[in-house]
Amino acid sequence: MTVFKCSDYGFECDFKSEGEVEQVIEEFRIHTEEEHGIEYSKEVIMQMLLRKQGL
């Protein structure tokens, strides 16, 4: 299971997504675009997840 929280990436936001990788990426991508006005590609979010996991 993957967990992604806005607060881990400098946002003052309580958003949290957890589940399968593809689901989490899509939920985070939609959230950041709609709530923060930032468009991240799926590839960028995957890199963020990999860095978080230390890979």
Tens-place pLDDT, residues 1-55: 889 899 988 889 999 999 999 999 999 999 999 999 999 999 999 998 888 877 6
18-29 pLDDT, tens digit per residue, is: 999 999 999 999
- Beta-carbon contacts of 51 under 8 Å, excluding residues fewer than 6 positions away, are none
Q: Which residues pair with 3 in a beta bridge?
A: 18
pLDDT for the residue numbered 25: 93
Closest CA to 25 of 9, 10, 40: 40
Q: Which residue stretches of 1-55 are H helix?
A: 21-36, 42-52
Q: Report pTM.
A: 0.83
Instruction: Give the model's pLDDT for residue 8.
Output: 87
